[in-house]
Chains A and B, each alone.
Chain A
């Protein structure tokens, strides 16, 4: 499978616990994006990487959230001290270059439920 893959697909955690999600982009793609989608809403931008450099972070990304892409390949998104409001679908996308006139490919998402 050469698409974008995310792991795990589903995660249920107790409030206050830390969780980490992984995204493996399409291998030659240098851009990697994280989005969050809550029920009934469209996805919202969280952060993106060009290779290993994190270029931008949304205000949605509080200090409990951290994302890394250490070798410019896969990326991890960690949420510390989870809160019920963190329950959402976390989507990863990758593209070759910027979004402008370059198609982005999305993963299946990781659905987080904080209980």
Chain B
């Protein structure tokens, strides 16, 4: 079992829909990251959080440390949001452990 699990693996939705991507982890962490990876491969950091909730534009990330669970929400989704969203955690040994990613496709 992977230390970081994401669901769903693939998600296709219509433009405007509310999107939720989930991440569960099984190790002790100091912080959790949500990353966005476009087809060219470059990764952009969206959020880093260790408690509570953060909002940036149409993106919202939440984390529940007790339940070892985080969610990434996208409101009013748009085709340009289509990308792979990766959950990653800072393990105790100062390395990032990545999930396999969720491939999101927003249809116009």
Question: Does chain A have a CB within 8 A of B20?
Answer: no
Closest to B42 in A: A108
Instruction: Describe B's contact surface by its main secondary structure.
Output: strand
Whether, in the assembled complex, A49 has its beta carbon less than 8 Å from a beta carbon of chain B, the answer is no
Taking Cβ atoms with an 8 Å cutoff, the residues of A that contact B are: 33, 35, 37, 40-45, 48, 56, 89, 91, 93, 98-101, 103-109, 111
Cβ-defined partner of A45 (8 Å) among B86, B95, B101 = B95
Contact status A42-B42, CB under 8 Å? no
Cβ contacts B5-16/A at 8 Å (1 or 0 each): 000000000000
Query: B48 touches which one: A40, A103, A109 (CB < 8 A)?
Result: A103
Hey, which chain B residues are within 8 Å of A100, CB to CB? Answer: 30-31, 90, 94
Q: Which residues of B contact A35 (CB under 8 A)?
A: 96, 98
Tell me, in angstroms, the Cα distance from A68 to B96 when the chains sit together: 20
Tell whether B41 is near chain A: CB-to-CB under 8 Å.
yes
Nearest residue, chain B, Cβ from A108: B42
* Interchain CB contact under 8 A, A42 and B94: no
**Across the interface, which residues of B come within 8 angstroms of A41, CB to CB?**
100-101
**Given the contacts A101-B31, A101-B50, A40 and B94 also touching, CB distance less than 8 Å:** no
Q: Which residues B34-60 have CB closer than 8 A to chain A?
A: 35, 40-45, 48, 50
Nearest B residue to A91 by beta-carbon distance? B43
Assess A106 versus B45: contact at CB under 8 Å? Given A41-B100, A42-B101: yes
